[in-house]
Amino acid sequence: MLDLHTMNPPQLAAVKHTEGPLLVLAGAGSGKTRVITYRIAYLLEKLQVPAEQILAVTFTNKAAREMQERMTELVGRERCKGVILSTFHSLGMRILRRDIERLGYKRNFSIYSTSDQVGLIRQLMREMDDTGKKYDAETVLWKISGAKNALIPPDRYVPRPGDDYELLAARIYPRYQSALQACNAVDFDDIIMLTARLFQEHPAALKHWQERFRFIMVDEYQDTNHAQYLLISQLAAHHKNLCVVGDDDQSIYGWRGADVEKILAFEHDNPGCRVIKLEQNYRSTGTILSAANSVIKNNPKRKEKTLWTASGPGRAIDLVVAADDEEEATTVVERIQVECTRNRMEYGDFAILYRTNAQSRALEEQLRFEGIPYVLIGGMQFYERKEVKDTLCYLKAIDNTDDEQALLRIINFPRRGIGEGTVLKLNQWSLAQGIPLFEALKRVGEVEDIPAAIREKVLAFHGLVAGEADRFRHRKTGLAERVTALFKRLGIEDELYRTIDDRAVARRKVENVEQIVNSLASYEERIPAPTLSGFLEKVSLMDEDRFSGKDKKDHGQNAVTLMSLHSSKGLEFPYVFLVGLEEEILPHKRSIYEDFSIDEERRLMYVGITRARRHLTITRCLRRKKYGKLEERFPSRFLEEIPADLLNVQQAAAATVLTEEETEKVASDTFARLKAMFGE
């Protein structure tokens, strides 16, 4: 039920402003997601706007799902059916699946993952190795990705003189793009770049989508890059009903192409724009917000706003000064134990945030030592595990036999006696003949210096893929059953047990392969007309969340959360420990000595402070280990920007004192947890 009486005046104004451009500057914890979902519900229920005319774009699948759930609660599932709630990449995929043929691709194109891209770059580097130098393929890919995010095509990419990687990228980029198209494949950056190109080159396609979307909303607008900015600008140019929601003070992804200037210049780019500020915070205490305001106001280029709360000042912020990083970790863990003992808090109420992942080592060791469960955010994602990627490549090759990276990955998995030398000859021959690799496999008899026995194995592999591709093409049901049968016929489980000495490790890998089938079965249950292409697209788009670093898993377990400041954005915890507040850590040394700008580092500090709801503890060290030796550390300049009356400064050694009874309880709880984990 849509009840607008629950909204504060600025929120209500944002919901009711529907005609013309609108910029909603939403401070941390000010209810921006609520505003977006209520605005969609208002359009549907009060203004009777057809659902298919509404588009809302955000950066992660999780955020899109949460908006969908909230919207359904407000107006019901039937009323909101047809509203497009998606990520940028999902929106691009929707458009390209309809119109990509105008750009010379087939509709069943594949999406290359990061590892696929790196593999292709490495292959191209080997083919043109005329420098004698060794270059990192991932760095070359990073340069190309940056160009794509800036909408710079291969023929307009101009390297900076003296930058060897940019000079190499200028040579690789055209070949890389040609190779992708030859495989009927795109990478993540292409999804946005090709959509923008489609709209520029084919006005009829642009007109179709402009007329379709009468009302457009964009969440986290401060995180858009140039390509995303142009895409949204193109779509909104007809009706001009564009509402963007964001916070320039939380723009922390400049390293991956996000441009804070886009939100700062929104009023200039959209004449007649209305600006509404959401400054009332519903998350943190007054003391925490005062500290955040005091820090961020030192950034010269920002939209002025001041967070406030009606919930009272709360506790002072503890600033703990530790002798070194080991004492810092010990102090943090002790304080968690104290809060749990004295205030009946759960471990899941605590988060430890840091600027660099390397800082987690001492913290992890101390948590393990005390038997405290924790979750480390930033580990390897499920779909990035080798055995998962290997088996998924069978499905990719079956779905799109032009996907050469998939073919190369599986041609000898499980092992069938086709060595790297044979693969190299086949690849070189296909390039020389100007034919796809899959066709070269069928014509292996024409390739010189490949023994007859090996040719038979290549033909058998080609027949296997071709046969499965034909079967999947003609049977549209029972995908999970057919994939199960395929994996058994291939002997993937036997291969894993045979090639991995540690049986426990092999078993986990086998279970991961089983989860692919489980995921496919769940997909079939949820989708009215499931296809192998659709499933692979879903899997590929999950990589988008991993790349953005913003889609967090829900932690049902009662455990302390460890994560980087970049990963923490969008989350909140009752108790937050912000560790390592020293020069060259926060702000990072790169921003001090290379970029000569600490604005984004200050925004990271602001994000870290505003993750805390009830209490914030900041720590710094007098010395910290570097290559095993202690070096003197200096306090972060951001600490000086927090008013002294908000801080309770303590030495780590005197920071926590437990009574005898509390000490016994901590010891008892620790013993109970260790017993549960390891037995008697």
220 catalytic residue (yes or no):
yes
Q: Is 438 helix (H, G, I), strand (E, B) or coil?
A: helix
DSSP conformation letters of 169-191: HHHHHHHHHHHHHHTTEE-HHHH
Q: How many CA atoms lie within 13 A of 232 on its CB side?
A: 29
Pair of tokens at residue 518: 């489980």
Residue 663 annotated to the active site: no
Q: Could you confirm whether 250 is annotated as catalytic?
A: yes
Residue of 16, 18, 33, 277 marked catalytic = 33
Q: Please tell me which residue in 11, 32, 262, 337 is annotated as part of the active site.
A: 32
CB atoms within 10 A of CB 650: 17
- Burial, 448: exposed, middle or buried (Cβ in 10 Å; 0-12, 13-18, 19+)? exposed
Strand ranges (DSSP E) for 554-658?
560-564, 573-578, 612-621, 623-626, 629-632, 647-651
Residue from 225, 257, 223, 263 nearest 243 by CA: 263
- Residues 287, 315 contacting (CB under 8 angstroms): yes
CA distance 321 to 652: 6
**Structure tokens belonging to residue 409:** 């990955």
Would you say 27 and 249 are in contact if contact means Cβ atoms under 8 Å apart? yes
Q: Where are the alpha helices (DSSP H) in 475-598?
A: 479-490, 492-499, 503-526, 532-548, 565-568, 589-593
- Given 190, 220, 223, 387, the catalytic residue: 220
Concatenated DSSP letters of 20-44: S-EEEEE-TTS-HHHHHHHHHHHHH
**Pairwise CA distance, residues 247 & 76, whole Å:** 30
409 assigned to active site: no
The span from the CA of 585 to the CA of 530, in Å, is: 48
CB atoms within 10 A of CB 286: 17
Burial class of 511 by CB neighbour count within 10 A (0 to 12, 13 to 18, 19+): exposed
Known binding residues for ATP are 26-33
Q: Of 477, 508, 485, nearest to 387 (Cα)?
A: 508
DSSP H helices in 588-634 = 589-593, 599-609
Rounded Cα distance between 282 and 310, Å, is 8
For residue 68, indicate whether it is catalytic: no
Listed in sequence order, the residues at least 6 apart from 348 whose beta carbon sits closer than 8 Å to its beta carbon are 555, 557, 558, 559, 560, 561
Give the active site residue among 116, 219, 327, 390: 219
Q: Give alpha helix (H) positions in 347-449.
A: 360-369, 386-399, 404-410, 420-433, 437-442
**Which amino acid does the sequence have at 70?**
R
| Burial (0-12, 13-18, 19+ Cβ within 10 Å), 161 | exposed
Catalytic residue among 11, 68, 123, 250: 250
Q: Which residues are annotated as a binding site?
A: 26-33
Which of 611, 614, 624, 637 is catalytic? The answer is: 611
Active site residue 544: no
Tell me if 147 sits within 8 A of 173, measured CB to CB.
yes
Amino acid occupying residue 354:
Y
Length reported for the chain? 680
How far apart CA 379 and CA 381 sit, in angstroms, is: 6
- Token pair, residue 408, equals 């190369």
C-beta of residue 514 within 8 angstroms of C-beta of residue 493:
no
What is the distance between the alpha carbons of residues 485 and 479, in angstroms, rounded to a whole number? Answer: 10
SS3 of residue 376 by DSSP: strand
Dihedral, CA atoms, 24, 40, 258, 171, nearest 10 degrees?
Answer: -150
Residues tagged active-site: 32-33, 219-220, 250, 611
